[in-house]
Structure 1
Amino acid sequence: MKLVVISGRSGSGKSTALQALEDIGFYCIDNLPAHLLPQLITRPPEKSSSDAPKTLLAVSIDARNPLSNLEEFPAILKKLREKQNISCELLYLDSNEEVLLKRYSATRRKHPLSNEQRSLKDAIEYERELLGPLAELADLRLDTTRLSLYQLRDSIKLRIMQKQEQGLSIQFESFGFKHGLPLDLDFTYDVRCLPNPYWLPPLREYTGLQQPVIDFLSQETEVNEMLADITGYLEKWLPVFEKNNRSYVTIGIGCTGGHHRSVFIAEQLASHFRRTMDNVHVRHRELP
């Protein structure tokens, strides 16, 4: 059985994530009381509408659970991960607080933790504290701040379903520091010290995916030295993460605007690691 537990703050896209998994064959349950999870695993749904055995299960466990259930969840998850016949992963979704406020204001929905004494902003902050222990246990964290519904669905399908049962899934993510640091990074490399094509008018309108910028950066000694250093570090330490049963690693490459240097470096790293690894992906946050 493959079990995916989805958690995260309200408004971060958990319902969309469940729908994406349902579309690819998972039996999905929203807002499951955490203490019922072991019973569900013991007696899973037996048949789908097509009479095929159900081996894919996804459940949402979040702040709608009673506090006592959330406190029990780390121990429950530990026991599930120790079972030989279950592949269990915890996916945690989050967005920055400004975006969560906008999403709730746009939909006019009531936050599950807000009340007469607790404002929407306070409820969002309290939920972050409440779910902090679950976020720390997550195998994969996704920052949905700048993702559309379609991008979130694609990201879920790409990283959950294309990952092999054994082996590490790596995503290189380029971004611009001026647009904020992504929330879901395991490693962050700052490449703002490298020569910037933005300051060369003939190159400004291109991106790190296009040949003029690729040619320019490929010829710069500092760029090649930075690539070699990052590659060497990751080649040494990624196998250690894999030996310790780490399923996913997200590596951020940041420059000022997220269009040139970070894009080029992310693409070069992905190309290098695809030679020896099966599950290597790239996302350029600031590109259309």
Structure 2
Amino acid sequence: MNTPAPTNDDTDQTLIVVSGMSGAGKSVALKTFEDLGFYCVDNLPAELLPDFVRGVARDDGMPEKLAVGIDIRSRSDLANLPQWLSAVGALGLDPRLVFFDTHDEVLLKRYADTRRRHPLSHLGLSLADAISLERQVLKPLRTLADVVIDTSTLNVHQLRRQVITEFGLNSDAKLSLLFESFAYRRGVPADADFVFDARGLANPHWNAELRPLSGRDAAVREFLEAQSEAGEYVAQVASFLDTWLPRMQSDTRSYVTVAFGCTGGRHRSVYLAERLAAHARERGWAEVAVHHRELD
């Protein structure tokens, strides 16, 4: 039995296709959409886009907002993306393609800073050549895009704010929060409004089983939560934020960055950023995002 396709007559569904250059901020954008209530899927093979929408439509209570990441990692022929977008349109959605771009010299610096591999590095290309080839392959998508966002001069939080502003999302929110983790050895984030030092807490790095993990992992959380000092730290920072964030909102601030630092930026700071972000959501803050500088 075929499932009826959703139509614009009875839904207000949104589909945003996130594409662009590797290192230009697509992951941050998708995370932002997720924080704003979108059902998000990253690295979807492009030819599966119509099937994905049909599959979600078969679920009870299809999400009203969808965001899908499609980029150079896709094994599909991206030149066929227009026909797949048309197929989605026939299902009743009006897809929007958003392309994130960045100057080549900025991409080179970002890869040098993060030491991450370019998706095309398996071809044996230099980083500069991989970026050049990616730009060539994605040129038709950039031309097709409904919106092109240049992130060359944007930090993480500025990019997040631009995504929110560009799409008119959650416009009633007066204050958005970013909880960020970092390593002190690479410097304090320049845009941080509050900085909390976690180096006084027990360091999971010295536990051989925990060393390869991060503060996102249950074993690291359990290790830290077994320390009374960690509980006191979380309670005191939560109390501080509960007192001062509402006052900053009333002062017409649009966003606040709360940063947690430790030696390597993998365990204690990551745990605290995640834990305090969860606390903020529990307190009713609508726009809460998390960024781990040394992991993301």
| TM-score normalised by structure 1 residue count | 0.52
Task: Quote the sequence identity (%).
Answer: 45
User: Counterpart of 1:80?
Assistant: 88
Aligned ranges for residues 72-111 of structure 1 at < 5 Å? 72-81=80-89, 83=90, 85-111=92-118
Partner SS for 1:57:
strand
Question: What are the superposed Cα offsets for residues 185-228 of structure 1, whole Å, 9 maximum, x if unpaired?
Answer: xxxxxxxxxxxxxxxxxxxxxxxxxxxxxxxxxxxxxxxxxxxx
Contact 1:12 1:93 in 2 (8 A): yes
Q: 2:44 aligns with which of 32, 40, 45?
A: 32
- Between the aligned partners of 2:123 and 2:91, the Cα distance in structure 1 is 47
- Between the aligned partners of 1:116 and 1:126, the Cα distance in structure 2 is 11
- 1:84–1:44 Cα change, 3 Å: closer
Aligned ranges for residues 68-217 of structure 1 at < 5 Å? 68-81=76-89, 83=90, 85-115=92-122, 117-162=124-169
- Between the aligned partners of 1:15 and 1:59, the Cα distance in structure 2 is 11
Structure 1 stretches lacking a partner, 5+ long:
165-288
Question: What are the superposed Cα offsets for residues 214-267 of structure 1, whole Å, 9 maximum, x if unpaired?
Answer: xxxxxxxxxxxxxxxxxxxxxxxxxxxxxxxxxxxxxxxxxxxxxxxxxxxxxx
- 1:138–1:150 Cα change, 3 Å: same
- Between the aligned partners of 1:163 and 1:92, the Cα distance in structure 2 is 21
- Between the aligned partners of 1:122 and 1:146, the Cα distance in structure 2 is 22
Contact 1:46 1:54 in 2 (8 A): no
1:46 CA drift (Å): 6.6
RMSD of aligned residue pairs (Cα, Å): 2.2
1:10 and 2:22 matched: yes
- 1:116–1:91 Cα change, 3 Å: closer
Partner SS for 1:131:
helix
User: Counterpart of 1:182?
Assistant: none
Contact 1:33 1:69 in 2 (8 A): no
- 1:16–1:87 Cα change, 3 Å: same
For 1:156, the aligned partner's letter is: V
User: Counterpart of 1:228?
Assistant: none
1:41 CA drift (Å): 1.0
- 1:75–1:105 Cα change, 3 Å: same
User: Counterpart of 1:42?
Assistant: 54
- Between the aligned partners of 1:154 and 1:30, the Cα distance in structure 2 is 20
Contact 1:4 1:91 in 2 (8 A): yes
- Between the aligned partners of 2:96 and 2:119, the Cα distance in structure 1 is 25
Contact 2:164 2:170 in 1 (8 A): no
Contact 2:49 2:88 in 1 (8 A): no
User: Counterpart of 1:19?
Assistant: 31
1:64 and 2:73 matched: yes
For 1:125, the aligned partner's letter is: S
Structure 2 stretches lacking a partner, 5+ long:
1-12, 172-296
- Between the aligned partners of 1:7 and 1:26, the Cα distance in structure 2 is 16
- 1:56–1:156 Cα change, 3 Å: same
1:116 CA drift (Å): 6.1
1:54 and 2:63 matched: yes
After TM superposition, the runs of 4+ consecutive aligned structure 1 residues lying more than 6 A away are: none
- Between the aligned partners of 2:123 and 2:31, the Cα distance in structure 1 is 32
User: Counterpart of 1:187?
Assistant: none
- 1:52–1:78 Cα change, 3 Å: closer
Partner SS for 1:147:
coil
Number of corresponding residues: 159
Partner SS for 1:127:
helix
- 1:120–1:78 Cα change, 3 Å: same
1:79 CA drift (Å): 3.0
For 2:147, the aligned partner's letter is: L
Question: What are the superposed Cα offsets for residues 71-125 of structure 1, whole Å, 9 maximum, x if unpaired?
Answer: 32122123323x3621210000000000000000111111001236310000001
- 1:116–1:23 Cα change, 3 Å: closer
For 1:15, the aligned partner's letter is: S
